[in-house]
Amino acid sequence: MSAPPAFRVVERCRVCAGGSLEPILDLGATPLANAFVRPGTATEDRYALELIRCATCGLVQLSIVVDPEVMFRSYAYSSSASPPLLEHFDALAEDLVGRFAPAGSFVAEIGSNDGVLLRPLVARGVRALGVEPAGEQAAIANAAGLETVNTFFSSGVAGELESARGRARAVVATNVLAHVDDLRDVMIGLDRLLDRDGVFVAEVPYLVDLLDHVEYDTVYHEHLSYFAVGPLRRLFADAGFELFEVRRLPIHGGSIRVHAGRKGARPVGAEVEAMVEAEERAGLHDASAYRRFAERVFRSREALRELLDRLKAKGHGLAGYGATAKGNTLLNYCRIGPELIEFIADTTPQKQGLLTPGTRIPVVAEARFLEQQPDYTLLLAWNYADAIVRRRADYVARGGRFIHPIPLAKVI
Ligand code: TYD
Ligand code: ZN
């Protein structure tokens, strides 16, 4: 007997419970994007990778939910591994302490990873506590003295934390809401944990940037929801909260940072309504914008395949840079394997020596990449394009060229 499938099909929208869900983009069946494989192991499981949209509230989401225990308990992603992220979280800590949670106050972070935000909070005198389901990341944080509870956040966990520690001045969740299936339970937890006039701060990738820049590769099984301000505002409102501030951020291909408090607790910035209106004008609440997007995704794949095939036919050596989750969506969707791209360089020691899931391209250290000096290198971590091109100025100086894959493949 085979094991039961470790996923469920989405039948109701996780924001509004509406049952009218329309397909918008089918990326095929792909393996889990962070499941890099050891050479010689059997074929990895594949799961449908399909975007759907709720006709009622507009939330864009995946058509299935893979068991979170499968995806997040052994989650190798380390936030502190990226220098640009360190700066980002230091600035966030500064803003939190300056405006909402002064030294001495209690702040809880959902999805605290290896403590990349806890650290600058603690350094500023905040009593910061993390909640993190990935065992390895939680252990790294605790070993560094950054207190972290190793569990998935839920209303139950929030109640326990509140009993033990009291209410939080601020609750923070960066790059977490998109990973959460039961968003309404998180809202109940927030209600239990947050002070009367406390602030919830969340960062999520922004759907408008995904659509505008054809960032289809940021679609993978870990990302269950793709937020615009409209559906997000509704999620909060249904739970008695109110979005009072929204800012766009350049991080992760374009994100938003939203601030929410209890209804009526704080003045609501004019940008909140303005962004919802702009989303409506951009057609985010009808089908046409998504048909256009699906066509652009298809063209993007054609352009990338054509460019790589042409370079290969001319006898050029091709490699990739950045063994990313998004890279695995892109490689699988575009059907790019080792016959086109010989290897992918990445600085993460845990990924080196493994193969990309589904496409089986070897991940190697930068040393190998520099030795071999491939003629063209596909940027699979395009969100760090500037940092990588600067870091590997040596490769470029010797005549190497990077290819930026989206919206349309381009040699840079
Ligand atoms: P990330 O941007 O987190 O992408 P995803 O969420 O799609 O996995 O991944 C960044 C990857 O790129 C990570 O494996 C480290 C690697 N990287 C380098 O190898 N060198 C670099 O200079 C940078 C900035 C990243
Ligand atoms: Zn909905």
pLDDT tens, position by position, 281-298: 999 988 889 999 999 999
82 CA from centroid of ligand 1 (Å): 7
330 CA from centroid of ligand 1 (Å): 15
Statement: residue 41 has pLDDT above 90:
no
Q: What's the residue count for the chain? A: 412
Q: Which amino acid is at 284?
A: L
Q: Average pLDDT over the chain, rounded to whole?
A: 95
Burial of 159 (0-12, 13-18, 19+ CB in 10 A): middle
CA dist 294 and 288 (Å) reads 10
Which protein residue's CA is at the shortest distance from atom 2 of ligand 1?
A: 381
Q: Strands (DSSP E) along 36-174, which ranges?
A: 47-54, 60-62, 64-66, 106-110, 127-131, 148-149, 168-174
156 CA from centroid of ligand 2 (Å): 24
What is the distance between the terminal CA atoms of the chain, rounded to a whole angstrom?
A: 51
Write the pLDDT tens digit of every residue in 359-386.
999 999 999 999 999 999 999 999 999 9
pLDDT average, residue stretch 304-318: 98
CA dist 115 and 121 (Å) reads 10
Q: b/e per residue, 198-225, with b = 16+ CB within 10 A? A: bbbbbbbbbbbbbbeebbbbbbbbbbbb
Q: Which atom of ligand 1 is nearest to the CA of 347?
A: 19
To test the pocket of ligand 1, the residue of 82, 137, 395 to mutate (highest count of ligand atoms within 8 Å of its CB) is 82
Write the pLDDT tens digit of every residue in 340-351.
999 999 999 989
Contact at 8 Å (CB) between 375 and 311? yes
Statement: residue 151 has pLDDT above 90:
yes
Phi–psi pair at 215, nearest 5 degrees: -85, 50
Q: Is the peptide bond before 250 cis (omega within 30 degrees of 0)?
A: no
Which residues are CB-contacts of 3 (< 8 A; sequence separation ≥ 6)?
none
Q: Which atom of ligand 1 is nearest to the CA of 324?
A: 8
401 CA from centroid of ligand 1 (Å): 18
Statement: residue 1 has pLDDT above 50:
no
Which residues are CB-contacts of 339 (< 8 A; sequence separation ≥ 6)?
none
Statement: residue 85 has pLDDT above 90:
no
Q: Who wins on pLDDT, 85 or 2?
A: 85
Q: Strands (DSSP E) along 229-340, which ranges?
A: 241-249, 255-262, 318-321
Beta bridge partners of 185: none
Burial of 155 (0-12, 13-18, 19+ CB in 10 A): middle
Which protein residue's CA is at the shortest distance from atom 17 of ligand 1?
A: 322
Which protein residue's CA is at the shortest distance from atom 1 of ligand 1?
A: 324
pLDDT average, residue stretch 89-95: 98
Give the global pTM: 0.95
pLDDT average, residue stretch 157-164: 98
347 CA from centroid of ligand 1 (Å): 8
Res 4: pLDDT: 57
Which protein residue's CA is at the shortest distance from atom 21 of ligand 1?
A: 388
Residue with tokens 């139950």: 156
Contact at 8 Å (CB) between 202 and 176? yes
CA dist 147 and 124 (Å) reads 15
Ligand 1 cavity residues, CB under 6 Å:
82, 322-326, 346-348, 351, 381, 383-384, 387-388, 391
Res 119: pLDDT: 98
Res 5: pLDDT: 65
Percent of the chain, pLDDT > 70? 98
40 CA from centroid of ligand 1 (Å): 25
